[in-house]
Amino acid sequence: MFGSVPIPRLEDQPYLCHSGSQAGVSCSFQLQGPARTKILPYSHLLCIDLLGDCLVTLRYSFADVEICLGRDFPGRNQFIDDLANFRVSLVRDCRHVKIRVVSEQNSEKSEVY
């Protein structure tokens, strides 16, 4: 007899892809404390930097998004592939993922979210 495998709820997933795993035009980042969402267009993405197994930096023309993946993050390689192909629609700050958005304003002062 097979054991039951719980199906995770969408709101419990560390990231979601656009429907049909198609490329999208933007990616949303759900941040905690205070709760807020940043939506950044893929058209401004310059590159994706990988540092080791845990740190992913998305370099946009106006901001950097630092994503720190926990050691227990499921599907790291698939996540990187989905990001590189613009399929990720939402990344959540959660137990497996920590997100930091640093945006550069026109002034010399930068803003951290």
pLDDT tens column, 50-104: 998 899 999 999 999 999 999 888 889 999 999 999 999 999 999 889 999 998 7
> CA-CA distance, 69 to 113, in Å (whole number)?
18
Give 35 or 110, the one with higher predicted confidence: 35
For the cut 60, the answer to whether the pLDDT of residue 5 exceeds it is: no
- Domain membership of residue 12 (yes or no) is no
Give 9 or 20, the one with higher predicted confidence: 20
- Domain membership of residue 2 (yes or no) is no
- Domain membership of residue 13 (yes or no) is no
What sign for the dihedral angle of Cα 41, 47, 50, 55?
negative
Rg (alpha carbons) of the chain, rounded to whole number: 15
How are the residues of the chain apportioned to helix, strand and coil, as percentages rounded to the nearest 5?
15, 45, 40
- Position 3 scores a pLDDT of 62
- Domain membership of residue 36 (yes or no) is yes
Domain that holds residue 52: 26-112
- Domain membership of residue 3 (yes or no) is no
- Domain membership of residue 80 (yes or no) is yes
- Domain membership of residue 108 (yes or no) is yes
The structural domain count of the chain equals 1
- Domain membership of residue 4 (yes or no) is no
Confidence of residue 44 (pLDDT cuts 50, 70, 90): very high
Range 48-55, long-range pairs (CB < 8 A, 24+ positions): 48/80, 48/83, 48/84, 50/80
